[in-house]
Structure 1
Amino acid sequence: MSDQKKSGTSKDTHYAKLRRAHREKGGGEGQAAPRRPRPADGPLPADGLVRLYGLHTVRAALDNPARRIRRLLVTRNAMARLDLAEPLALAFPGEIVEPRDIDRIVGGDAVHQGVLLEAEPLKPKRLSAMDDTRLVLVLDQVTDPHNVGAIMRSAVAFGAGALITTARHSPAETGVLAKSASGALEHIDHVEVRNLSDALEELHEAGFQTIGLDSEGPEELERTFSAARVALVLGSEGKGLRQKTRQTVTALARLDMPGPIRSLNVSNAAAVALYTAGRHLSRQS
């Protein structure tokens, strides 16, 4: 038997002993038995709910009327920091817990700050239903939830009206993504499309100049803007923009990098590009 299998068997035995001890102490069905910690990210659980954690993330979700909340777990300390009344006074089930109770659900590495919200995922919008906006971000298969969350945060900070992603090869709404977004998930329209090239053409018809960010772009971003509506298109962490995307956007542009490093992490590049686009659009007003 391999070391990996031995390790798994040891863990299984450990948690089986905890559950058996729980039953012997009189723990009934209404009391939670010790559970194996699970990672905070990954596909949605079988119940289809998303686990949101962290003070900023949960506060924004609580304030979002579109968010359908199922349950709140909160420590006394976090309840005071969120300025919440007793959980029983809320419009959904709530429970005061210890930090370790949340650790069991999201894993010990998650920085939950004493609060966990179980809620239904927000429903992505269709491109045709996108609110009127002059600035949007388009992600071409950016898959890291930390990056997508950070991009959402920058998009909200710089006034982008929507984030457009593909239905495939994009991270699902998870606690990790929401924590990285630090509440921004609740403040920006998320548009999900099946075919990115078709979506870019639809943006063209709506008057958007679509600009793909490429470290080898022929022109600096500042010199590329030519319209009153802008869609910034960013590629995946490793491969960048796909060839079909490069052929479909209005223009390819680069960020000016005077230093020896010629490229940025996609979330950092998004922040710089958003700031630059915002300055251009402010001059168009």
Structure 2
Amino acid sequence: MRYEEMTIEGRNAVMEAFRSGKTIDRVYVLKGCQDGPINSILREARKHDTLVNFVAKERLDQMSETGKHQGVIASAAAYAYAEVEDMLKLAEEKGEPPFLFLLDDIEDPHNLGAIIRTANLAGAHGVIIPKRRAVGLTATVARTSAGALNYTPVAKVTNLNATIEELKEKGMWFVCADMGGTTMYDLNLTGPIGLVIGNEGDGVSRLVKEKCDFVASIPMKGEIDSLNASVAAGVLAYEIVRQRIG
């Protein structure tokens, strides 16, 4: 989590952000604090399905830029999130089979920004990220995406597995990147497709991998055994682009 980004500090400011409909990813509340204004904020957080972390005063002081947090700091998305439906509509409008990126717990904002940039250039219709254990749309992500965030929709879903199931029912199929898979050049990656990219350290989680129709590996010639998540996303995305054009 990068705190220097879209942080909103103080009780009124946080309450106002909820009321204005701004997407709040997470609220940090002083542990043990339960007065009226804080309870109102917690109610709003529950209503909007926002994650709440109860933290020590030292942590809030550390995160605070203004020094006037009043026991509450919210972390807000720098950009509004889209719905998965919007992405399918976009594909339909363009007369193209849907092409989506699904990110399984990408925690580094630079990686997320770079992947959104790649998704845009590869002609993907959107990027789907999970609510928990993943970075949201912070200013760092926006900056690293080099403007792509303005054009490529990003959706945040509660459960990646459930989303994959729903999209499968709509005729999509899924390929994930994993070293143990079939070489990507030997797979048919045309048609309505979701590209699943795993966490920087652990790769795609077992449950998500089981939902995928194909497991694709990128041929590696060097002495080290893995690519950075955003580079892997780029390599696979462009094999999908090549097959789509072909």
2-side partners of 1:168 and 1:39: how far apart?
17
For 1:277, give the aligned amino acid.
Answer: I
1-side partners of 2:122 and 2:110: how far apart?
19
2:140 to 166, 173, 176: 176
The answer to whether the 8 A contact 1:137-1:233 is kept is yes
For 2:125, give the aligned amino acid.
Answer: G
Structure 1 stretches of 5 or more lacking a match? 1-37, 49-66, 68-104, 106-118
Q: Which has the larger radius of gyration?
A: 1
1:202 to 139, 142, 166: 166
Cα deviation for residue 40 of structure 1 reads 3.0
After the TM superposition, which residues 59-74 of structure 1 pair with which residues of structure 2 at under 5 Å, given as runs? none
Q: Which residue does 1:244 correspond to in 2?
A: 207
1:188 to 149, 152, 160: 152
Structure 2 stretches of 5 or more lacking a match? 15-21, 23-64, 66-75, 92-97
SS at match of 1:160: coil
SS at match of 2:163: helix
Cα deviation for residue 215 of structure 1 reads 1.4
**Any idea what the Cα deviations from partners look like across 1:119-139, whole Å, max 9, x if unmatched?**
974321222332343311100
For 2:82, give the aligned amino acid.
Answer: K
2:82 is equivalent to residue 125 of structure 1: yes
Q: Which residue does 1:101 correspond to in 2?
A: none
1-side partners of 2:180 and 2:168: how far apart?
23
Q: Percent identity?
A: 30
SS at match of 2:241: helix
**Any idea what the Cα deviations from partners look like across 1:201-251, whole Å, max 9, x if unmatched?**
12212222200100121x111222254111110111111111110111111
Change (3 A) 1:120 1:140: closer
The answer to whether the 8 A contact 1:203-1:210 is kept is no
SS at match of 2:166: helix
1-side partners of 2:138 and 2:84: how far apart?
22
After the TM superposition, which residues 227-242 of structure 1 pair with which residues of structure 2 at under 5 Å, given as runs? 227-242=190-205
RMSD after superposition: 2.8
2-side partners of 1:39 and 1:246: how far apart?
32
Cα deviation for residue 268 of structure 1 reads 0.6
Change (3 A) 1:260 1:199: same
TM-score, reference length from structure 2: 0.66
The answer to whether the 8 A contact 1:208-1:227 is kept is no
Q: Which residue does 2:50 correspond to in 1?
A: none
Q: After TM superposition, what 4+ stretches of structure 1 lie above 4 angstroms from structure 2?
A: none
1-side partners of 2:207 and 2:235: how far apart?
24
The answer to whether the 8 A contact 2:77-2:136 is kept is no
TM-score, reference length from structure 1: 0.57
Higher strand share: 2
1-side partners of 2:120 and 2:127: how far apart?
10
